[in-house]
Amino acid sequence: MVCMVARTGRHLQRYNQDHRLVVGCIPYRYKNGKKGCSPEDHHELEVLVISSKKSDAMMFPKGGWEVDESVEEAASRESLEEAGVLGNVECELGRWIFKSKSRELYHQGFMFPLLVTQQLDLWPEKAARKREWMSVDEAREACGQWWMKEALDILVDRLRSSPLKQENHVQSM
């Protein structure tokens, strides 16, 4: 069963020292249902970007990691709430420290690939966001956050180097 209400508030948020912990996903799929990505067919890879609630700036789904969920559960929840997609959360792409654009706060961001298995017509933040499947190059150009671009580059490198090992990789924390 899928929850159609987005979590709100920050009373359950996790913090590490002075950093708010946020978790995000790069939702991806292959055109024509392909499973792997080699250097020759990387153009088959598509990633899903979403608009910010406050502007038309494009990014990958991300949000606060809450105390009652694992990091993978948080990544999956954010992808559902913000982008309306479900899928398999794979091994962590990395961790970044970045400054909030709206406040003078620093965040520690964790990013994961999400191999999309289902795209919903209705999702909690449908009225607040636009979503769009793009090529990797288009997404790199559209995304304004440097750390998300780095995560995208890591994902592409990983998929190119190990196309047969992409299914069911999940890292526990």
In tens digits, the chain (173 residues) has pLDDT values of 455 554 455 567 767 877 889 999 999 999 876 555 554 555 689 999 999 988 878 999 999 999 999 999 999 999 999 999 999 999 999 999 888 766 678 888 999 999 999 999 999 999 999 999 999 999 999 998 999 999 999 999 999 886 444 444 444 33
Residue 28 lies in a domain: yes
Q: Alpha helix (H) ranges present in the chain?
A: 71-83, 136-142, 146-161
**Phi/psi zone of residue 67: left (φ > 0), alpha (ψ -120 to 50 degrees), beta?**
alpha
Q: In the prediction, which pLDDT does 161 show?
A: 85
Residue 113 lies in a domain: yes
- pTM (predicted TM-score): 0.81
Q: Which CATH number covers residue 158?
A: 3.90.79.10
Q: In the prediction, which pLDDT does 170 show?
A: 43
Q: In the prediction, which pLDDT does 172 show?
A: 37
Pick from 150, 48, 55, 50: nearest CA to 102: 55
Taking the CB of residue 24, how many other CB atoms lie within 10 A of it? 27
pLDDT tens for 58-67 read 999 999 999 9
Residue 109 lies in a domain: yes
- Domain that includes residue 47, residue range: 15-162
Asked if 143 and 59 count as a contact pair (C-beta separation under 8 A), the reply is: yes
If one counts the domains in the chain, the total is 1
Residue 45 lies in a domain: yes
Residue 106 lies in a domain: yes
Residue 1 lies in a domain: no
Asked if 46 and 135 count as a contact pair (C-beta separation under 8 A), the reply is: yes
Q: In the prediction, which pLDDT does 103 show?
A: 66
Residue 125 lies in a domain: yes
Count Cβ neighbours within 10 Å for each residue of 81-105 and write b for 16 or more, e otherwise. Answer: bbbbbbbbbbebbeebebeeeeeee
Q: Are β-strands 106-119 and 19-30 bridged in parallel, bridged antiparallel, or unpaired?
A: parallel
Taking the CB of residue 19, how many other CB atoms lie within 10 A of it? 15
